């Protein structure tokens, strides 16, 4: 019994230490990057192939950054329709109001695709995987077991492409930075778990940089003049290289689907508030 208070103290100290690294320094790489690089295995900065686990930022359920650009009247009107569904502790200043459970309207609760860039900001399924071929880089996402094509064969972005959840993307190397430009997004998705809106005019400019063998850094710049009065530049996001998936018994990329019938059964059988009025039960698929 004597060990319990000691344990608690140790736990709290560890938590506070890790929390400060995890949550407070989201814009800085962890540790001494030069020292890490000196001891890390050799790597090719143009080699992205592999499994990447979302690192210390964003932890999930985060917006691109805590400072969302001012919205246009169109964007604000769209944001006003959001019925928030969970706590927004990461960036409360830009959170939508949390609504009663029977009013939640997060499209992902209906098992709609996360879309891009939201798939990078979700709390669950924090893995992505790159495979590079001669004419494209394929970015796989654990959530939904889906992917997007990033064409690297020299083609230019298409003007007014068919709208999709994951957009139309072209990429090229600028030195050691992999630059991706995307458009053609459907406006059905939320930009992030906070319900931040976007229109079908949204374009993304992304820079991926493998800073050392084990770490990948990403910055997303969202430009959508229909929704925001200026571009929205994300905080730096970090991903840790993984030799295998830590989230699958088979050590493979997990089939992490949102299955509508499972979702409905969960709300029906377990969730105490949503048993009779959960949003997933109020709609047909």
Partner 1 sequence: MKGRLITVCALAAGLLVFSGPVVAHHGSQGYDLSKRITLKGTVSRFAWANPHCQIYLDAKDDKGSVVNWAVELNNPGNLVRLGWTHVALKAGDDVTLAFNPGKEGKPVGICADVFFPDGRKLHSTQGCGIPQEPE
Contact map string, positions 28 to 67, toward partner 1, x by CB under 8 A:
-------------------------------xxx------
* Distance set, CA 250 to CA 127, 197, 255, 258 (Å): 15, 37, 11, 19
Closer residue to partner 1 in complex, CB, 2/156: 2
Closer residue to partner 1 in complex, CB, 229/265: 265
Rounded to whole angstroms, the Cα distance separating 209 from 217 reads 5
Subset of 102-131 contacting partner 1 (CB under 8 A): 109, 123-125
| Vertex 171: Cα angle to 190 and 167 (nearest 5) | 25
CA distance between the termini of the chain: 53
Q: Which of 191, 273, 281, 285 binds partner 1 (CB under 8 A)?
A: 273
**Least Cβ distance, residue 242 to partner 1 (angstroms):** 12
Give 244-248's long-range contacts (Cβ < 8 A, gap of 24+). 244/51, 245/51, 245/127, 245/142, 246/53, 247/125, 247/126, 247/127, 247/142
Cβ 195 vs Cβ 82: under 8 Å:
yes
**Least Cβ distance, residue 83 to partner 1 (angstroms):** 12
Contact map string, positions 231 to 270, toward partner 1, x by CB under 8 A:
---------------xxxx----x-xxxx--xx-xx--xx
* Residues near 93 by beta carbon (within 8 Å), at least 6 away in sequence: 66
Rounded to whole angstroms, the Cα distance separating 236 from 238 reads 7
Q: What are phi and psi of 81, to 5 degrees?
A: -85, -5
Closer residue to partner 1 in complex, CB, 30/177: 30
Please give the DSSP secondary-structure letter assigned to residue 51. E
Subset of 3-32 contacting partner 1 (CB under 8 A): 3, 6-8, 10-12, 14-15, 18-19, 22
Q: What are phi and psi of 280, to 5 degrees?
A: -65, -20
Closer residue to partner 1 in complex, CB, 39/250: 250
Tell me the number of residues near partner 1 by CB under 8 A: 45
**Least Cβ distance, residue 208 to partner 1 (angstroms):** 24
Q: Give the binding site for partner 1 (CB under 8 A).
A: 3, 6-8, 10-12, 14-15, 18-19, 22, 59-61, 85-87, 89, 101, 109, 123-125, 142, 246-249, 254, 256-259, 262-263, 265-266, 269-275
């Amino acid at each position: 019994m004597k060990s319990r208070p000691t344990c608690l103290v140790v736990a709290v100290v560890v938590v506070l230490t890790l929390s400060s690294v995890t949550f407070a320094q989201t814009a800085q790489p962890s540790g001494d990057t030069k020292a890490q690089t000196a001891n890390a295995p050799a790597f090719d900065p143009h080699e992205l192939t592999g499994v990447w686990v979302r690192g210390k930022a964003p932890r999930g359920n985060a917006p691109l950054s805590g400072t969302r650009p001012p919205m246009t009247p169109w964007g604000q009107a769209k944001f006003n329709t959001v019925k928030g569904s969970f706590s927004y502790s990461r960036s409360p200043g830009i959170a939508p109001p949390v609504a009663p459970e029977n009013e939640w309207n997060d499209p992902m609760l209906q098992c709609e695709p996360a879309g891009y860039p939201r798939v990078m900001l979700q709390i669950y399924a924090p893995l992505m995987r790159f495979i590079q071929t001669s004419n494209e880089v394929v970015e796989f996402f654990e959530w939904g077991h889906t992917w997007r094509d990033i064409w690297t064969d020299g083609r230019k972005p298409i003007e007014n492409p068919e709208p999709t959840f994951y957009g139309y993307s072209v990429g090229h190397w600028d030195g050691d930075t992999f630059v991706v430009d995307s458009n053609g997004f459907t406006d059905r998705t939320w930009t992030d778990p906070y319900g931040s809106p976007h229109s079908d005019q949204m374009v993304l400019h992304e820079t991926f940089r493998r800073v050392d063998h084990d770490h990948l850094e990403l910055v997303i710049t969202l430009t959508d003049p229909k929704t925001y009065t200026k571009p929205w530049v994300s905080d730096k996001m970090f991903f840790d290289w993984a030799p295998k998936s830590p989230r699958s018994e088979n050590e493979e990329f997990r089939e992490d689907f949102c299955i509508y019938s499972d979702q409905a059964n969960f709300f029906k059988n377990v969730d105490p508030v949503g048993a009779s009025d959960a949003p997933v039960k109020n709609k047909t698929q």
